Amino acid sequence: MNASTTEARSKHRKHRKLRVRALMTLSATVALLLIALSGLTVLAHRTRKGGFAQPKATSAWLTQGQSGPSANQSQYVRRTAVWPKLQETLRLIGDRMEKPGKERLVMTGVIRRGNDEHPFRLITEYPDKMRLEETGGQPSTLVFNGNGSGKSGGSLSQEDEDLIECLAFDSIDHLFSAEVKGVGLRSLGEHFRLDNGKTTGYGDGYYDIYVLSDMIDNGRSSYNRNRLYYINSDTLSLSQVAYDYEKSGVETHVEARLGNWRKENGQLIPHSITRFENGKQVIQFVITGVSIGPGAKDGAFDRP
């Protein structure tokens, strides 16, 4: 066997080993991807009826890049940088998250906890700020400024943390502010229904579901949260936000349902926010008045 033949066979064996290694790497990558997708798919199937979300049409996994679809470091949303379907939702909501001048919402109405009902004033400011003032038997003020939180008359309870999460994070505002920051957002698919697919005369609508995985820090505690956002496939408004967490040692399924969306000064605002835990309603905000204005450094979000 001459030297050229030996060299040729050696190169052939080397190339074959490289191809085998490449195939093994590809197979491992695909396996890991399938595991990840199946895990998130199971997560997506949690519904308010305890059944399974069934797609009306074939669902698709989409991704806009590991670092998120927007590299814009401004707090305002660039419409062309978000998911194509979410661009329509953003257009429907109005321009309050796209440019200065309408960041602050002042909402008044009635808060309900069981049989208790009393007035409230809620001030929110994009991105991720809130101030809740409750009047009644025990007036209180709860504030979150995007970095820290505080409550008048004492330290935060678990219920206070739940309120901050409900009002600051279980919202369409947080979905878009997280996109601006490049937080991981993925689409689970479109046209899901909220039952097991067998309900005769099903009429609860179809939903595009997105999963947002981000770190929540309310100034008292920090934690990772995988949050599912249900966007109505027809109206394109946010219908509910769902996730699981451990509360007092008990696994708890949370749903924040947003409804009665109406235009206020050209901006689409929910007039009902209701939080459920394991299927039981724990609190509801019925909004009867809304005013919209620019953000301001006026101390509204300073700790009490």
pLDDT per residue as tens digits for the range 275-290: 999 999 999 999 999 9
CA dist., res. 198 & res. 295, Å (int): 48
CA dist., res. 115 & res. 282, Å (int): 11
What are the structural domain ranges in the chain? 1-44, 54-293
103's CB contacts (< 8 A; 6+ apart) are 96, 97, 125, 126, 294, 295
Task: Report residue 302 as tokens.
Answer: 């300073």
Give me the residue label for tokens 């509360």: 247
Residue 215 DSSP label: E
CB-neighbour burial class of residue 44 (10 A; exposed 0-12, middle 13-18, buried 19+): buried
Specify the fold of 54-293.
Answer: outer membrane lipoprotein receptor (LolB), chain A (2.50.20)
CA dist., res. 179 & res. 80, Å (int): 12
Alpha helices in the chain (DSSP H): 3-44, 84-93, 158-164, 172-180
Helix (H, G, I), strand (E, B) or coil at 6: helix
For 212-252, what is each residue's pLDDT tens digit?
998 888 877 888 999 999 999 999 999 999 999 998 889 99
CA dist., res. 190 & res. 89, Å (int): 14
Task: Report residue 34 as tokens.
Answer: 């399938």
- Nearest alpha carbon to residue 126 among 78, 176, 164: 176
Task: Report residue 26 as tokens.
Answer: 């590809």
CB-neighbour burial class of residue 239 (10 A; exposed 0-12, middle 13-18, buried 19+): buried
Task: Report residue 4 as tokens.
Answer: 């050229």
Q: Give the amino acid at 122.
A: L
CA dist., res. 123 & res. 112, Å (int): 18
Q: Give the amino acid at 40.
A: L
CA dist., res. 169 & res. 122, Å (int): 14
CB-neighbour burial class of residue 34 (10 A; exposed 0-12, middle 13-18, buried 19+): exposed
From first to last of the 304 residues of the chain, give the pLDDT tens digit. Answer: 554 444 544 544 444 444 434 433 333 333 333 334 434 333 333 333 333 454 443 333 333 333 333 333 488 999 988 888 899 999 999 999 999 999 999 999 999 999 999 999 999 999 999 999 998 778 899 999 998 999 998 889 999 999 999 999 999 999 999 988 888 899 999 999 988 888 899 988 999 999 999 888 887 788 899 999 999 999 999 999 999 999 888 999 999 999 999 999 999 999 999 999 999 999 999 999 999 999 999 999 998 8
221's CB contacts (< 8 A; 6+ apart) are 161
Q: According to the model, what pLDDT value does residue 268 have?
A: 98
